[in-house]
Every structure is written in structure tokens, then in C-alpha cells.
Amino acid sequence: MKQYLNLCQRIVDEGVWVENKRTGTRCLTVINADLEYDVGNNKFPMITTRKSYYKAAIAELLGYLRGYDSAAQFRDIGCKTWDANANDNNAWLNNPNRKGEDDMGRVYGVQGRNWQRPDGSTLDQLAKVVNNLKNGIDDRGEIITFYNPGEFELGCLRPCMHTHTFSLLGDTLYLTSYQRSCDVPLGLNFNQIQCFVLLALVAQITGHKAGKAYHKIANAHIYENQLPLMRDVQLKREPFDSPQLNINPNIKSLEDIETWVTRDDFEVVGYQCHEPIQYPFSV
């Protein structure tokens, strides 16, 4: 939690104002942040200086792992975070590739599970990585990337946390995740949880111990309309100790994740937090 607050404070102290055309709201911005999460010792990186809706963050990750392409699918599993980008952004509403209400297009999990090859066949990046890791193989390219510049115009938003690299050292699995753009008050609260859960889940279904998850962010920002709440409210609070995350031990395969796992297979114990803060969201 301290590393999160340090990043927030760094943006407040050293950030530079950058105009943003897509949302029309300028952002206080820093470049480069390195965060790490101790998954092996189950220190769940949930924000404690405000209430964190961790189940929605986990549901969003489950949707990515299943290759969802519609905000309605995300809503059905308990996550409303894609409603605005699918239905309220003018550039996407006017894009002829949008297939109607709730369509997100070829973003995130679509690329992860259904990457299109030039010959028309598709590639399942996640299945390849899980199969290799299950067999103790790390070919130094156990990478899942959602970043497909050739198909940006087919999706509502370019992926933010775009690439995940898994590494095996003996029987311990590590994760390095890359993020190009980070809304620190809103998005990072979700992204920290997702890095942690992605490593914990993949370690569980491939039969390895989880080590650390490393999270590398290029552009980390606070939108101008979020700044007073961050600077004058959230940053004035003292954090509590990290809680722990219990994952249903019956989750044993990628197929389990695809078929029956829900956000209720994840339970946090020992979570103490301050009052909720509702940050404005820029579409």
C-alpha cells in the first residue's frame, strides 16, 4: 500500500500537466513507475485508504481471460467498468466497426484468446502459455499481449495493461506486467489486484508456487477533476495492513476459469479500510 501512496504523492509533487484530447480532461502526469506485489506471501495489494471493490476487478480479469468482447458479458459476471467505453465515447459510437450496444470490439481478451493470423486462422496466446507452464517449460517468451496496433480501429480503447510475461525459476512462477497508461485513482486500484490474481491463478492451475508480480507503468496520471480528492482526502489517511486473498482450491485448469469460476471464488480476509471515495471517471 505504501508504494501506491508514494506514487500518488509523487504525481502530486512532481507531476506535469498534460492535455488529453480523447477525454478533454488534462492530467497531472509522471513517467515510469515500478510496483511489485508479494504473491508468494499473500500480501494482497488492495487499497486501504478508501473502500476497494476488489470483486469487480477480479471479474474484469476473468472476462479478459475468457476473451469477452461485450460490456454486457462483463456486467453479467459482476463488472460494470466497460459500460462507458462501449456506449458513451463518441469516437467509438461513430466508428463503423462498432457492432451495436455494448460492443467493445477486438480488445484485451479477444487478442489474448483469438489473435488473428494473416492466413485467417487464430492463435490462443493464453492456452499456449498455460500448457507450457504446466509442463515446466519457460521458453523465455511466455508472453500474452493484448497490444495489436494493426487492429486498434477495431476496438473501443487501446489496452492499458497490455502485456503479461510469465517466468519460471525452478518451481516458482513470476509475472511481469506492462501498462502504457494508468488512471492512478481509479484504474490502478483494479490493475494491482489483477496483476496479483493473474499470477496467483496461473500458478495454481499450472502447479507452481507463486513468487512476485512486477508491474511496470509508463504514463501514470491523475485527472484534474480527481486531484482534490486524492491530494486533500485520500493522501491524508493512514493505510492499514494488507489483507490476504483466498482462492477456491478447486480451480485447477483453464477450462475451470472458462466455465464455472465466478468472482465469489475469491475471498479477502482481514480487510480494514477507510470510507469510500467516489472518483470522477473520464470517458
160 is catalytic: yes
Among positions 186, 193, 197, 230, the unique one binding ligand MHF when judged by CB under 6 A:
186
Residue nearest to ligand MHF (CB): 187
- Binding mask of the shown chain, residues 99 to 138, with x at each position contacting ligand MHF by CB under 6 A: ----------------------------------------
Binds 53: which of ligand LAUPNLSC, ligand MHF, none (CB < 5-8 Å by kind): ligand MHF
**Which partner, ligand MHF, ligand LAUPNLSC, none, binds residue 85 by CB below 5 to 8 Å per kind?**
ligand MHF
Contact status: 189 vs ligand MHF (CB under 6 A):
yes
Task: Give the three cell numbers for residue 268.
Answer: 479477502
Neighbours of 172 (CB within 10 A): 14
Write out the binding residues for ligand MHF, residues 132-161 only, by CB under 6 A: 157
Residue 56 interacts, among ligand MHF, ligand LAUPNLSC, none and using kind-specific CB cut-offs from 5 to 8 Å, with ligand MHF
Partner whose binding site includes residue 81, from ligand LAUPNLSC, ligand MHF, none (CB under 5 to 8 Å by kind): ligand MHF
Residue 49 contacts ligand MHF per CB under 6 A:
no
Spatial contact of 254 and 130, defined as CB atoms under 8 Å apart: yes
What is the chain written as a DSSP string?
-HHHHHHHHHHHHH-EEE--TTTS--EEEEEEEEEEEETTTT------SS---HHHHHHHHHHHHHT--BHHHHHHTT--TTHHHHHS-HHHHT-TT--STTB-BS-THHHHHHEEPTTS-EE-HHHHHHHHHHTT---S--EEE---GGGGGGBSS--SEEEEEEEEETTEEEEEEEEEEEETTTHHHHHHHHHHHHHHHHHHHHT-EEEEEEEEEEEEEEEGGGHHHHHHTGGGSPPPPP-EEEE-TT--SHHHHHHT--GGGEEEES-------------
22 makes contact, choosing from ligand LAUPNLSC, ligand MHF, none, with CB < 5 to 8 Å by partner type, with: ligand LAUPNLSC
CB under 6 A: which stretch of 3-11, 67-75, 144-152, 179-187 binds ligand LAUPNLSC?
A: 179-187
Q: Which of 8, 27, 156, 160 is catalytic?
A: 160
206 interacts with ligand MHF by CB under 6 A = no
Smallest gap from residue 63 Cβ to ligand LAUPNLSC (A): 12
